[in-house]
Structure 1
Amino acid sequence: MICRNRPVTGQRKASFFSGCLGLLLGGMLVAAGNPAEAQKLSPLHAAGTRMLNAAGQEVILRGYNVGGWLLQESYILGTDSLNSQWRIRQGLLRTMPETEMEKFYRQYRQKFITKADIDFLARQGFNCVRLPLHYDLFLTPEQRHARTNVIRDPHNPQKLDAYVQQLSQWYDADQLFTKTQQLDGFRFIDDVVKWCAANNMYVVLDLHAAPGGQGTDRNINDNFRPLDLWKRHDAQDRLIYQDMTVRLWEKLADQYRNESAIAMYDFINEPHNLNAANGLSADNQELNTLYSRLIDAVRARNDQHLLMLEGNGYGNEYTNLTPDKLKVKSTANLVYNAHRYWCPNTAEATDPNPNQINLLTNLAAFRDQWQVPVWVGETGENSNEWFGAAVQGLNARNIGWCHWNIKRVDSGAGLLRVAPYGSLLTPAGRTALLRNVQFANCQINRDVATSLTQPADFRAPFAQLTIPGTIAATDYDLGRDGVAYHDDFSARIDYRDLTPHNHGGAYRNDGVDITACPEMANGFAVQKLAVGEWLTYTVNITKAGPYKAELRVQPGSTPGQLALLLGELPVGTAAVTPGSEWTTVSLTTPALPVGQHTLRLMIEQPVSQLGWLRFAPASGSSSAGGQ
């Protein structure tokens, strides 16, 4: 996947109902009309615009990508300066011999994704996993060593030419991708298929880093030269990387043609920048040629799996790639892909190019015009508000999707947060990383899970909050903008607008601006509170009566004003004198009733930061308790 301007968020504490996540989120993401527990895995096929199982039931695949595992993407690991897997490997080779580097990668792959991660996804109701793969997983140790020689000196054209020539020789001798029982790639696929099948989940095989590289972005291509998949010729003037790609999919088809737990083959992830400016055609001719070869090659192996095409421009543009343009013997069981990032989720948003299908209206129109299933192979990298709007828009159109990405270092945008580990280039950093990436040591981002699995009007407590007591400002309820909170900028819908949805980028992934704040007991505060914004808290009042309410604030340069409501009952208003130092403002509430209620904090005039709200009986006869 391509990632621009990822939000970086801090660690947050687990709350009382993190252990109940499965109960909270269960049930939505299953085959249309069928509960997950009743769905039996069977081969999927295309019938018009739908994917059907062997019983003729529609299956809508909704799941998660396990990126960063079998192809390291630098930002997932928090090593953006390295920006590709080969550069990470190059850095490691400066500090250790090749054998030790390979040992580290074996350990990393054993720990980053395990059965525990897949079981967790299943408990949330997801019914598929997309498995991003690097082609080097299908090389023998000797062949991978030849690639490592290029990594040591990647700008040396002679070394790259020698590697290409070795690949050509192995290709001609049928020594590429043949020792299936000894190659890492097949073993990892087998493991994921086994884990998913045990959970009644499908798998999508995704060639995320194709031989030579399918575009210019090294993070996802892990290529030495831009667009070499389309440009690199060997000594016999063959486009050898394309030949290798066809050969790899032939071997995968031989191995898995009868595996019904595999939903489909995703031939090439996110081809991009195939254009005249880069010496290629302006109408995807190169993609048409390779896709046509791949389709015929897989079908020649008697493999009838769904085959997914990804358009130019990171998977979205299909000029010259529609079923009528492909040069294939059969267009049966084709699926068309979209990758959706930083774009609007409204029906009104359209693209004038009908073959550009990342917008919801274009995606559905393309499906209906060409009578093919469509699937969103990647979506995410935004706020929870955007996530919720995106998946609800797709669900309403019966279009499946696969969220990016399950696991990230120090980020609130993934489903699982990996604790920071230091530097990958130090022994201590690697040891910490191998420990931190394990499922048991990851933190569940419940707000992300909620946004993907609950309806638009869903609201639930984020933490157990009691009055009398202290409420961390950051522990507002789970839910969408307009339901659990309101912020004046809660989602990016234009990739050119780099405004962060969460100024401060900490604690949670909503539009609420949260920053690290050591003065607060939980380490965080809400900041940039603007006029018209608000936060809701589900609270349990255990003692009836009036209360003294205190609010810990950092004022701004102008007078501020905060108001509280309990349900529809006005509770009081607190004025905030301009300034820069933290201060406590207070008000006395009317009598508050016992029971569970919704407390809403309204921003009537702006303040800089809010740390907590504290409630003590106005009579002073009981202790409020503090944090």
Structure 2
Amino acid sequence: MNGPSLSPPRSSTLRATIFVVLLLAGTSIFSLPASAQQLSFLQAKGTHMVNASGKEVVLRGFNVGGWLLQESYILQTDSLNCQWRIKQGLLRTMLEAQMEEFYRQYRANFITKADIDFIAKQGFNCVRLPFHYDLFLTAAQRKARTQAMLSPKNVDGYVQQLSTWYDQNQLFTDPKSLDGFRFIDDVLKWCAANKLYVILDLHAAPGGQGTDRNINDNFVPLDLWKRHDAKGRLIYQDVTVRLWEKLSARYKSDPRVAMYDLINEPHNLNVANGMSADNQELRSLYSRLINAVRAQNDKHLLLLEGNGYGNEYTNLTPDKLTIQDKSNLAYNAHRYWCPNTPETADPNPNQINLLHNLAAFRDQWQVPVWVGETGENSNEWFVAAVQGLNAQNIGWCHWTLKRVDGPTSLLRVKPYGSILTPEGRAALLRNVQYTNCVPNRDVIAALTQPATFQAPFVAHSIPGTIQAADYDLGRAGVAYYDDFSAKIDYRDNTPWNQGGAYRNDGVDIEVNTDSPQKKYVVGHLSADEWLKYTVKVAAVGPYTLQMRVRKGAAPGQLNLQLDGHAIASVPVGQAVTAGEWITVTVKTPPLPLGQHQLMLLVKQPVDQINWLRFEPAAATSAGGQ
């Protein structure tokens, strides 16, 4: 098949150790298969995606969201809500030309070949490229859209201008001079060098495909489906069809493109919003788009996204679409905050974000299915989702590559301040560059390793100090146990990491207020929670164990085991004053030489745990940090 299928390797101590060493070095044990394969056109064969040789290709990769369409939460500008409102805020203190120059620099810095190389080194075989339709407008046309952005009264004028450009064939006509085509061409080149497929994703469609401005950057909700021009045409739909005609004309013979994702996450197309109850509007536009692409003799896979953020397909199944060519269709699911158990099902067979419904829909309609977005959850959820999808041989694409201070992304962008200040923008332009981002190694392990994987997060030696938050890599029940470790109901906003810091597991990690170094502590503890650490004992003998803890409202009890054998019981008295930190000291029996598993077990919770320190019994010091 083309590129690695990313099937999980067999677990062993040696392989786990190699993985961590290579990961820390910025490389991966998964990179060889991708570099050894060549790309060819993908097509649908029954429920499979296959290459030109008829071999199945399972696409597993990453979205590069936040780049060609800024989403507020990715940049931590949530109060601004969407890209056009960010621009509106910028224009209060700068000229339009200055704003455009900032965006030119932002797009030049956010994703480069180095980012794509990094994705490939982790063993993935595809990139989904979300983009905004306005990148395919000329500078003058984008200026007109900016005027509509500045005042609601200007929207009608912009719509009329679109109509005129449409009638005069002035939309999307010069690929060499339009930013959108240039960005696609760059990504195709970078990905081809790494043998990665690309999925072209119209993420912000003309007029907006739903009510969520953050996703589709629309001026008026659902205008794609409702807005008529002076001639009575659904002009935004006409423009959308024209855009895909131009994209198809340019890329129809390009095997580097795996699929066209025609419209990202249409949502809230319903009676409450003055539309049909059964996707008639979406059915009509998809039929137009498919026919327009196929009219150019373009055989690419066409990815459909259902109503309800990409998941509900009533009247969108192949038999319901008014198209002549029903070949090479693929169906999408976006999986967020839902159960990963294979038996859990939705009573609506056309709602396919649950694993059971996704596989059943695929088998009933004999079409490939693909999870175009998944993520925004804990590592524990990631592992379960990946294992469930891999077991069904269903491909997936993680959302997303980069986020500002984002624990769920592959790369973490350092905080930068405010995008509305010169200092904040300068910091943002620096921080988004690949060399300045920090890999989330726990996320990488969750997405690429088997469910039983466990490996050191950092190297721990005895004698020495172990930070409580530096427990091993691995899922809940393997490297740690926490009483809440994944979000499986979109209505439940309980954080899986209640401190929200450092790592993306169910363990609750907070910024340390005890030490001037401002490292991290484990808190929000409950009875029977535990953490495991791979440790190397350098010298045989008894040790003095010191633990730095913050007392709770009731007495606490912490136990330590080495390879399942008890080595220490650490009683902690209740707090007399709030926030009281103490260093507790106990003795251990002689510890054996070599590598071992150390478990910290909470029998009765304390408020927080900072660190554990082992010193040879004869050399114990009385001090603590």
Q: TM-score, normalised by structure 2?
A: 0.95
State the Cα distance separating 1:242 from its structure 2 match.
0.2
Question: Of 529, 537, 541, which aligns to 1:541?
Answer: 537
CA contact (8 A) 1:133 1:209 kept: yes
Matched, 1:617 2:616: yes
Matched, 1:169 2:164: yes
CA contact (8 A) 2:149 2:155 kept: no
Matched, 1:41 2:46: no
Q: Which residue of 2 aligns with 1:575?
A: 571
Question: Of 69, 72, 87, which aligns to 1:71?
Answer: 69
State the Cα distance separating 1:607 from its structure 2 match.
1.1
Q: Which residue of 2 aligns with 1:420?
A: 415
Q: Per the alignment, in what secondary structure is the counterpart of residue 607 of structure 1?
A: coil
Matched, 1:19 2:9: no
State the Cα distance separating 1:586 from its structure 2 match.
2.1
- Shift of the 555–625 alpha-carbon distance from structure 1 to 2, 3 Å rule, reads closer
Q: Which residue of 1 aligns with 2:370?
A: 375
State the Cα distance separating 1:347 from its structure 2 match.
1.1
Q: Which residue of 2 aligns with 1:563?
A: 559
Residue correspondence of structure 1 range 271-290 to structure 2 within 5 A: 271-290=266-285
Q: Which residue of 2 aligns with 1:5?
A: none
State the Cα distance separating 1:475 from its structure 2 match.
0.2
Q: Which residue of 2 aligns with 1:221?
A: 216
Question: Of 93, 113, 116, which aligns to 1:115?
Answer: 113
Distance in 2 separating the partners of 1:610 and 1:150: 54
State the Cα distance separating 1:625 from its structure 2 match.
11
Match of 1:615, as an amino acid?
F
Match of 1:567, as an amino acid?
D
CA contact (8 A) 1:485 1:533 kept: yes
Question: Of 168, 176, 191, which aligns to 1:196?
Answer: 191
Distance in 2 separating the partners of 1:150 and 1:262: 33
Distance in 1 separating the partners of 2:294 and 2:487: 41
1:430-461: CA deviations, max 9, x gaps? 10000000000000100000000000000000
State the Cα distance separating 1:262 from its structure 2 match.
0.5
Q: Per the alignment, in what secondary structure is the counterpart of residue 549 of structure 1?
A: strand
State the Cα distance separating 1:36 from its structure 2 match.
2.5
Q: Which residue of 2 aligns with 1:463?
A: 458
Question: Of 522, 526, 529, which aligns to 1:530?
Answer: 526
Q: Which residue of 1 aligns with 2:306?
A: 311
CA contact (8 A) 2:209 2:225 kept: yes
CA contact (8 A) 1:468 1:625 kept: no
Q: Which residue of 1 aligns with 2:348?
A: 353
Match of 1:371, as an amino acid?
Q
Distance in 2 separating the partners of 1:247 and 1:626: 69
State the Cα distance separating 1:585 from its structure 2 match.
1.5
Match of 2:287, as an amino acid?
S
State the Cα distance separating 1:518 from its structure 2 match.
3.4
State the Cα distance separating 1:626 from its structure 2 match.
8.4
Question: Of 309, 332, 336, which aligns to 1:337?
Answer: 332
Distance in 2 separating the partners of 1:447 and 1:489: 18
Matched, 1:474 2:478: no
Distance in 2 separating the partners of 1:366 and 1:287: 19
Q: Which residue of 1 aligns with 2:436?
A: 441
CA contact (8 A) 2:145 2:158 kept: yes
Match of 1:576, as an amino acid?
V
Match of 1:611, as an amino acid?
N
Q: Which residue of 1 aligns with 2:60?
A: 62
Q: Which residue of 2 aligns with 1:596?
A: 595
State the Cα distance separating 1:464 from its structure 2 match.
1.0
Distance in 1 separating the partners of 2:572 and 2:91: 57
CA contact (8 A) 1:617 1:624 kept: no
Residue correspondence of structure 1 range 316-331 to structure 2 within 5 A: 316-331=311-326
State the Cα distance separating 1:65 from its structure 2 match.
0.2
State the Cα distance separating 1:555 from its structure 2 match.
1.5
- Higher normalized contact order (CA 8 Å, seq sep 6+, divided by chain length): 1
Match of 1:541, as an amino acid?
V
Q: Per the alignment, in what secondary structure is the counterpart of residue 391 of structure 1?
A: helix
State the Cα distance separating 1:16 from its structure 2 match.
7.9
State the Cα distance separating 1:523 from its structure 2 match.
1.6
CA contact (8 A) 2:34 2:194 kept: no
1:296-320: CA deviations, max 9, x gaps? 1000011100000000000000000
Match of 1:307, as an amino acid?
L
1:32-74: CA deviations, max 9, x gaps? xxx3333210000000000000011100000000000000000
Residue correspondence of structure 1 range 116-155 to structure 2 within 5 A: 116-153=114-151, 155=152
Distance in 2 separating the partners of 1:178 and 1:609: 61
CA contact (8 A) 2:511 2:518 kept: no
Match of 2:387, as an amino acid?
Q
State the Cα distance separating 1:522 from its structure 2 match.
5.2
1:187-225: CA deviations, max 9, x gaps? 000000000000000000000000000000000110000
State the Cα distance separating 1:348 from its structure 2 match.
2.0
CA contact (8 A) 1:67 1:131 kept: yes
Q: Which residue of 2 aligns with 1:300?
A: 295
- Shift of the 44–624 alpha-carbon distance from structure 1 to 2, 3 Å rule, reads farther
Matched, 1:501 2:496: yes
Distance in 1 separating the partners of 2:163 and 2:623: 72
Distance in 2 separating the partners of 1:528 and 1:424: 33
State the Cα distance separating 1:517 from its structure 2 match.
1.1
- Shift of the 127–475 alpha-carbon distance from structure 1 to 2, 3 Å rule, reads same
Q: Which residue of 2 aligns with 1:206?
A: 201
State the Cα distance separating 1:540 from its structure 2 match.
1.0
Question: Of 78, 86, 89, which aligns to 2:87?
Answer: 89
RMSD: 1.4
1:458-489: CA deviations, max 9, x gaps? 00000011110110000000000000000000
Distance in 2 separating the partners of 1:78 and 1:248: 31
Q: Which residue of 1 aligns with 2:586?
A: 587
Distance in 2 separating the partners of 1:524 and 1:19: 20
State the Cα distance separating 1:152 from its structure 2 match.
1.3
CA contact (8 A) 1:339 1:377 kept: yes
Distance in 2 separating the partners of 1:246 and 1:17: 46
